[in-house]
Structure 1
Amino acid sequence: MITIERQAALNKEISSSESYSGVISALKKVAVEFGFRHVTLLASPDPDDILLAPLIVETSWSRDYVREFDRQRLMRRCPLGPLLLGSALPVSWSIDAADTHNLAFDPQTLALLRIYDLVCTAAMPLHSVDGNRFILRFDGTRQPLAQAELNELGMIALHAFDVFDRLRRHEPRAIAPPLTARELEVVRWTSQGKTSNEIGNILSLSDHTINAYLTNAIRKLDCVNRTQLVAKAIRLKLIA
């Protein structure tokens, strides 16, 4: 299928999606159409984030990959976040190609990417209407994308995220379970600009424990990162 026909067909399917799950299903077809094996939507990491799992909105990655990535604490060693934060355009790279945007992957990350066949990636930084930052990425073992392919995939991704974001803001959600007293305390300190390490020092807890409380709060309030968590907690009058 030529580029114009493929883009039109995929955009039509995305536009016809009437639910969050429908958009994700369409994105999985986009991944296959472009020769990728996986599609992932995740919140853009903040400097304090040390775990990948809490950032994931939807993914077809192996659970074992995510678990091992977090077990080895590879988040802060991963160069992808800074690359995407400095770009408004889709980017693509392959760990086997000479041109990798000067990405300095450490040996542990490289080994994990190869084990789970995440050799070639295309990723797009995205911004929701309510100001949250996301990353949409496609992974697999295909050859690096040509610029024309990357441009086409970027346009499809923007359209898909626009539909997803509209549905996300209007799709009914179940009432979130209440936060515990400790979770509220951690969220309150976070709203005051404290890092996990600083909150840990204040509460005599490890930063790992603080991050666990934040992860639970993010999940309970159906948020994607700390920024949205604080904003929603204030809006719900959980914290002042």
Structure 2
Amino acid sequence: MAYARTPSSEIPIGTNHVRLQRAASRADVFPRLIAMQKQLRARNFAVFRISGAGLPGKRRLFCEMENWGGENAHFADLILGGYADALLDHIELSTLPLAWSGTEQVSFVEAFEFTPLLRRLPSEVTPFSGVAFPVRLGAMGNGYVIFTGGSFSLSSDLMIEHHVRSCHIMTDLLALDERRTVPAETLSEREVACLQLAGDGRISEEIAENLGLSVHTVNAYLGSATMKLDAVNRIQAIAKAIRLGYIH
């Protein structure tokens, strides 16, 4: 599996491009996870994120969203108890998906490249099978989108497609978090236009020519946008504007 780098994430490629509308709230994320669950023929899903990134001995997995509930509410504790260390170690080294089987079996169809990653735990630890899609978004937002269920089949194409979708889910959750900390003042149309062109690789002189502005004015717009986004430089401002949905 190959990966394409963006300013803030690693996205798997090799399948049809997945375009998803930005989530305006967490309520928008839940039905997308349900749709993925149904396509995978899984029974449940959970989103785990990592706190304490970059702090040795402080990293922890915590459950952000799930639909286990009821008699299965303890599944989060089972994953944290049986898989936490393996998941934390794996995401530091690789963004390939992980799968495991409990008393039930995971069936891989034409997905032989994933079979070496199959992790088996004793049935007394977890009775359910599952697949975990790791997502790395930098210092913040790292974690897993996990699906658990019975004996579901996973082809290579389906694994890749749902890894892409998992990256979108985690990116949206990070963006929603950041919106709560971004200054109330929003970006102006000119600031957005300058950031978009800068994100496309244009230098200030090219942006000025494209928008009919002076170089000084362009730099002023980029500077004010950087401050509004609470970024340390133009590159970070562009990455943050992408995550927040201002530019693409």
* TM-score of the aligned structures, taking structure 2 as reference length: 0.49
Corresponding residue for 2:38?
32
Corresponding residue for 1:23?
29
| Superposition CA RMSD, Å | 3.8
When Rg is computed on C-alpha atoms for both structures, the one with the higher figure is 2
Alpha-carbon distance between aligned partners in 1 of 2:24 and 2:80, rounded to the nearest angstrom: 37
Alpha-carbon distance between aligned partners in 2 of 1:23 and 1:72, rounded to the nearest angstrom: 22
Cα deviation for residue 35 of structure 1 reads: 1.3
Cα deviation for residue 126 of structure 1 reads: 1.7
Indicate how the Cα distance of structure 1 residues 59 and 48 shifts in structure 2: closer, same or farther if over 3 A, else same.
farther
Alpha-carbon distance between aligned partners in 1 of 2:38 and 2:132, rounded to the nearest angstrom: 15
1:62 aligns with 2:78: no
Corresponding residue for 2:134?
125
8 Å Cα contact 2:50-2:60 kept in structure 1: no
1:170 aligns with 2:179: yes
Gaps of 5+ in 1: 174-240
Alpha-carbon distance between aligned partners in 1 of 2:168 and 2:89, rounded to the nearest angstrom: 24
Relative to its length, the structure with more helix (as a share) is: 1
Alpha-carbon distance between aligned partners in 1 of 2:116 and 2:36, rounded to the nearest angstrom: 23
Corresponding residue for 1:101?
117
8 Å Cα contact 2:40-2:153 kept in structure 1: no
Alpha-carbon distance between aligned partners in 2 of 1:140 and 1:83, rounded to the nearest angstrom: 22
Corresponding residue for 2:99?
92
3-state secondary structure, aligned to 1:125? strand
**Percentage identity across aligned positions?**
15
Which has the larger displacement, 68-77 or 85-94? 68-77
Cα deviation for residue 137 of structure 1 reads: 0.9
* TM-score of the aligned structures, taking structure 1 as reference length: 0.51
Gaps of 5+ in 2: 1-14, 108-114, 183-248
Which residue, out of 151, 158, 161, partners 1:149?
Answer: 158
8 Å Cα contact 2:50-2:143 kept in structure 1: yes
8 Å Cα contact 2:42-2:152 kept in structure 1: no
3-state secondary structure, aligned to 2:119? coil
AA in 1 matched with 2:68:
W
Relative to its length, the structure with more strand (as a share) is: 2
